Amino acid sequence: MPQITARINRFVRLATVVLAAAAGLLIGGADLQARTLVKNICHIKGQEENTLQGLGLVVGLKGTGDSAGSAPTIRSLARAIQLMGTPVGKRGQLDPKADVKNVALVLVTATVPAAGCRQGDTLDCTVSSIGGAKSLLGGELFITALQGPQVDSQRVYAFAQGAIHLDDPKVFPTRGTVFKGCRMEEDFFNQFIKDGKITLVLDKDHADFQVSQDVAELINGQLGFQTRSGELAHAINQQNIEVVIPSQYREKPVSFISQVLSLPMLDPQTEARVVINERAGSIVIGGDVEIGNVNITHKNMVIEAGTAQAGATGPNPSHFVPIDTGPVPAPKLKALVETLNTLKVPTDDVIEIIKGIERDGKLHGDLIIQ
C-alpha cells in the first residue's frame, strides 16, 4: 500500500506520522465522476473576439501632447482639418514646425465580442499614445474610424470619440479608455459554418487527443442516428472536432448546434497538472497527480513517499503480506501536501519541495508556475 511517512527528530525523540493510502491516495471505484456539458469545454470555430483599430488624435491637452514639429501628428491633424471642410495652407499641409503640444497621435482599439455586434451598438475603446505625449489627462478623442481585422482591414466598421478616462494617471498617463465611445456603423458577425460543417475547438486547458476523441464519439453516439452513416463528427487533432450538419438542419443550424453543445459528458480527464502561484502562495493540484518513490529531507524532518513492501524494516514496517501482488498505485501528490500541511511546513517550503520532486523526475504531471 502506498504510504507517506514523516519522521521528525527532536533531540532523542522520534515521532512518526503515517497517512494510509485508503484515505487520501486511492480513488474508490464507486466514486461518482463529475459531469459537464460539451459547451463548457469548447467553443464553435468562428465565435471568437475580434479587434477593430485605427489611428486617431486626442485634443484638448494642456501642453502634454506630442512635441513640436512631430511630422506624423502634424500630417494627421492636417488631414482631420481637411475632412472637416477647412482648407489647410497652400498645399494642404500645416507648417512643419507647428506646435502640437495640445494634440497627441494615438492608437485606438475596440474589442468586438465573440457573438458579434449590431449596427448602433456601443463598445468601450482603448486609447494609447504612439508619439511623444507625456499625458492624455483631460484630453478628448477626435472622431476616429475603426477598421476591421485581416481581410477587412480597410473596411470601416465603427467610429470612436469621447472623453478619455486614464486607467492609472500616475503609472500609465498615456493610456486610457473611452467608455461606450465606439459606435458600430455596420453589423459584425463571424461565420461559423463552412461547407455544411462546424468545428468545435477545445479550450486550451482541455485540449487533449483523448478528450477530442471522446467528444466525437459522444456526438456520434447521441446524434449519429440522424444520418445514414451514423458518423457526424470526427476528431481532427487534439483540439478540433469537425461536425457535419445533418441535411434536416441545414436551414436551422442553430437548433442542431444547441443540441451538440448541450450534450452531457463525464468530466474530461486531461493531463495531470499542478498549478502554483508563487506570489499568492496557492497550490492547485489535480486529484490524479501521482509522484514516484521519493525521500525528502526538510530541516528536522524526513519524508518518505512510496510503497511499503512486505517484510520492510524501519519504524513503520508492513505487518501484512499482500495477497494481490499486482502493481500498486503510486502515491498522490495531494496526500504529500496534506502531510506537509499537517506538519505545519510553510507554503514556500512546500512549493520548493514540489519543484524538487519535478526536477527529480518523480512528479507524474505537468508543473505550471505562475
- CA–CA distance, 279 with 286 (Å, rounded to integer): 20
pTM for the complete prediction? Answer: 0.65
Residue 7: band (very low, low, confident or very high) from pLDDT cuts 50, 70, 90: low
Bigger pLDDT: 143 vs 298: 143
Q: Which three cell numbers stand for residue 211?
A: 478528450
Percentage of the chain modeled with pLDDT above 90: 35
Give residue-wise pLDDT tens across range 29-82.
434 467 899 999 999 998 888 899 999 999 999 889 887 767 777 777 777 776
Phi, psi (deg, nearest 5) at residue 112: -85, 125
End-to-end CA distance of the chain: 34
- CA–CA distance, 76 with 81 (Å, rounded to integer): 9
Q: What is the pLDDT of residue 162?
A: 95
Residue 26: band (very low, low, confident or very high) from pLDDT cuts 50, 70, 90: very low
List, in sequence order, every residue forming a beta bridge with 265; answer none if it has no partner. 36
Beta strands in 240-320 (DSSP E): 240-244, 264-266, 273-277, 282-285, 290-291, 294-298, 301-307
Phi, psi (deg, nearest 5) at residue 253: -65, -30
Q: Residue 103 above 80 pLDDT?
A: yes
Bigger pLDDT: 358 vs 70: 358
Q: Which three cell numbers stand for residue 213?
A: 476523441
Name the least confident of 61-75, 128-142, 160-174, 344-358: 61-75
Q: What is the pLDDT of residue 86?
A: 66
Q: What is the pLDDT of residue 299?
A: 80
